[in-house]
Amino acid sequence: MMRKARLAAVVILFAAGGAVAEVRIVALGDSLTHGYGLPEEDGFVPRLEAWLHANGAPDAVVVNAGVSGDTTAGGLARLAWSLGPEGEADALIVELGGNDLLRAIDPAESRANLDSILTEAAARGLPVLLTGMRAPLNYGPDYKAAFDAIYPELAAAHDAIYDPFFLEGLVGSPELFQPDGIHPNAAGVERLVARFGPLALALIERTRGAE
């Protein structure tokens, strides 16, 4: 109810020519979302927010709910706290699964955790942008097939905006990564945000079209 009232207020303000209320996007993720190894201002969340402000969404606020080392289970455990009270968040970005891969967690567990996250978002009426990870071949073809199928299947089941691979366009370009070869450097974040930004704009459009 609070979310519906807030959206109604946005419509009234817009029709009256007033300022539009902020669109609050919670980015739930791991170190890639958090901005590991970078000055705060160079991390994914601040740069995405700046990109949105410069590309048609000056009212966007992106909340950094990234925790380094977090798994899908950890993201689920802190989801309610990250979203805040009912009506506070307008949309959700989910970037989790990389640490499940590093720990070779059963894909069925990762799937169940992500499914629960998306189910809770739906219960709150929040549109979701789900960004995926890809399993390496060293776990075997069965593990890879089971893990890689999680993201497109859950996105379809929950009508989420689907981004197949968070690090698309960066892998294979070592100059875009920090020395650990895992986390993007500032230049890598800029390339990532340039690709990801339009997806975030589409997410914002879903919040504006919500009833």
Is residue 11 domain-resident? no
CA distance linking residue 69 with residue 118, whole number of Å: 20
∠ Cα 7 209 163 (to 5°): 120
Q: Span 51-67, mean pLDDT?
A: 97
pTM over 0.85: yes
Is residue 4 domain-resident? no
Residue 88: CATH number of its domain: 3.40.50.1110
Spatial contact of 181 and 193, defined as CB atoms under 8 Å apart: no
Is residue 62 domain-resident? yes
Catalytic (active-site) positions: 31, 180, 183
**pLDDT digits 0-9 by tens, 87-117:** 999 999 999 999 999 999 999 999 999 999 9
Task: Give the domain extent around 185.
Answer: 22-209
Tell me, what's the pLDDT at 209?
Answer: 76
Domain count, the chain: 1
Is residue 152 domain-resident? yes
Is residue 5 domain-resident? no
Is residue 8 domain-resident? no
**pLDDT digits 0-9 by tens, 138-182:** 999 999 999 999 999 999 999 999 999 999 999 999 999 999 999
Is residue 1 domain-resident? no
Is residue 12 domain-resident? no
